[in-house]
Amino acid sequence: MSAPVASCKTVLASKVSASFRDQIKKDIKERDIRPKLVGFLANEDPAAVKYAQWTAKTCAETGVEFELRKVDKQDLEQKIDEANEDKAVNGIMVYYPVFGGKQDQYLQNCVSIFKDVEGLTFKYIYNVYHNIRFLDSGETTKCIIPCTPLAVIMEFIGVYNAVLPYGNRLYGRTITVINRSEIVGRPLAAMLANDGAKVYSVDITGIQTFTRGTGIQLQAHKVEDTELTLEQVVPQSDVVITGVPIASYKLPSKLLKDGVIAINFSSFANFEDDVKQHASIFVPSVGKVTVAMLERNLLRLHDYQHREAK
């Protein structure tokens, strides 16, 4: 008797990004514009180089002008300042890590909020944590959100409940995020909790919960330390998102509940090979969606800059 076929649906980032890329290409062509994105590469990290190559390829396909500037890391701050002042540059991104730690956080804040396609400046991060979705009181200028690609993927695969009001559409969902970096993991947990989810945020120091309290009565999420273990929280989770930047890390499939949605945003495969025997939906990577969202953010910033100029 043959083994049963797994009923898991694998969703590729290329499929999720396709509609966004088509729309971006259409907008650029119809409006006869050529927004310019500058990427700064100041390291020899193979993952960063690969990311830069993806960015260049996608931009060429959609009509975005992309310029990769390889610079010495000691000169990076000055080069960012120059790009901030250059009116021909509509968006800036930096391929991290450069120095690592606090110095990289400082560099993130050197990028103008009107050119930050990654949403890593303090203003955008602050707004994510405080559930502020616009830069202005008139709500005409949307914030750039650092973890948009993951939100887009979850909307695509139906994690968000469209029946519920905007801002509450993850209410009732329990989500585990295994990564609490300041670039993706922590703001992602905050964003998901602000949309109503109960989030277990996992890193090597322990597990925290991000929620909007009982009945999602809080305007913005709160964070609480716990004594919980990975073995306790993963089996409770409707969605498990991994982003561990280590090739050897594998989340044991035996912890996953049947029907879980499994999403990996690490450049390494964080799930075991048999993940599809447990998951209903599996997203093995998000790279192409990330680049598409950078381009969408670039178009927004292009429009913000031209509106301010008028």
**Residues involved in catalysis:** 147
Cβ pair 223, 209 in contact under 8 A: yes
Contacts of 225 (CB under 8 A, 6+ apart): 206, 208
Contacts of 43 (CB under 8 A, 6+ apart): 73, 95, 96, 97, 98
Distance of CA 18 to the CA centre of its chain: 17
Cβ pair 24, 300 in contact under 8 A: no
Distance CA 23, CA 309 (A): 25
CA atoms within 13 A on the CB side of 19: 6
Distance CA 298, CA 159 (A): 26
Distance CA 192, CA 131 (A): 10
Distance CA 116, CA 37 (A): 10
Report the SS3 class of residue 210.
Answer: strand
Distance CA 267, CA 282 (A): 15
